[in-house]
Amino acid sequence: MQVTLTVNGKAVSIDAAPNTLLVQALREHLGLTGTHVGCDTSQCGVCTVIMDGHAIKSCNILLAQAEGTQVTTIEGLAAADGTLHPMQAAFKECHGLQCGFCTPGMVMNAVDICRHNPNPTEREIREQLEGNLCRCTGYQNIVRAVQQGAAAMKA
């Protein structure tokens, strides 16, 4: 089947089997491997992307459900000249990552959190990141990164 959508600002058409997941289409058909595959059960959040302005777990969405949508992946956040998105820069500056496996999903969810709430409290950040698992950092630096990223996104 043929599915047309916009990914990182570019119109794309993907020919794939009806049971293709959005995460598979991004990685295998478009080569956007920044969106990771973790649990395949929508529990870990490493596959988080922004679809039509909301963070979603792309392992839980069929490609067909993305017909006509606008999807942003971690590769689509940075500016064309390579300048990091404020949230990406905050994660780097605050050491909000260690192994980096969860980072793309964390960053995408953090961007969504801050777009819908420009002044999230620590409690709100922790609650809204519950669906994104990290085994390395203990979350303190991730929370600090989201707070710094939120402030930079407002500026």
Cα–Cα distance, 135 to 5 (Å, whole number)? 33
Q: What is the pLDDT along the chain (155 residues), one digit of tens a residue?
A: 999 999 999 999 999 999 999 999 999 999 999 999 998 788 899 999 999 999 999 999 999 999 999 999 999 999 999 999 999 999 999 999 888 899 999 999 999 999 999 999 999 999 999 989 998 877 999 999 999 999 999 98
Radius of gyration of the chain from its Cα atoms, rounded to whole angstroms: 15
Cα–Cα distance, 111 to 94 (Å, whole number)? 16
Residue spans per domain, the chain: 2-75, 86-154
The architecture in CATH of the region 86-154 reads Orthogonal Bundle (1.10)
Question: Model-level pTM?
Answer: 0.94
The architecture in CATH of the region 2-75 reads Roll (3.10)
